[in-house]
Amino acid sequence: MPMDMMDRRILRLLQEDASLTTGDIAERVGLSPSPCWRRIKQLRESGAIRRSVTLLDPKIVGFSVMVMASVRLSRHSRENIDAFERKVNELDEILECHAMSGERDFVLRIAAPDIDSYHLFVRERLIHLPYIASINSSFMLKQVKHTTALPIPEN
């Protein structure tokens, strides 16, 4: 779907605050509410807007440990890859999973209440899986930048 400047302005606003009303967005972009609502509806239907969520502070809700875990599979068969991807989607602690090029097959972002909980999670839920050869964990020490907003240009 080709997007014009108005669509991009709407998307930029929604990325900042998805709780804005259609009226608020319309006012900020210089449209009346009905055309603005139609554009937002079209952006949703096209898949440009996948969903709206509320972002939580992990520490405040009890997840003070964030880990980037590199995973190597024992064999690169379709069965192993499919089994791993199915398992990842079953585990709520895994927030993100990315298939990678290079030395590691996947990188996971995992949330845990503390280091002991993370260790137990790896030991009880991951490392015993027959298609995993190794897991290398890197603990996040400090969050320097975090955004979910894509850099949508004005024009």
Neighbouring residues of 108: CB distance < 8 A, sequence distance ≥ 6: 67, 68, 69, 71, 88, 94, 96, 97, 98
Pairing mode of beta strands 106-112, 94-99: antiparallel
What is d(CA 89, CA 92) in angstroms, rounded to the nearest whole number? 7
Q: State the pLDDT at residue 1.
A: 67
Q: What is the DSSP letter of 122?
A: I
**pTM (2 decimals)?**
0.89
Could you read off the pLDDT of 95-138 as tens digits, one per residue? 999 999 999 999 999 999 999 999 999 999 999 999 999 999 99
**Structure tokens, 20:** 């804005």
Q: Which domains does the chain have, with CATH numbers?
A: 5-46 (1.10.10.10), 65-139 (3.30.70.920)
Do the beta carbons of residue 39 and residue 23 sit within 8 Å? no
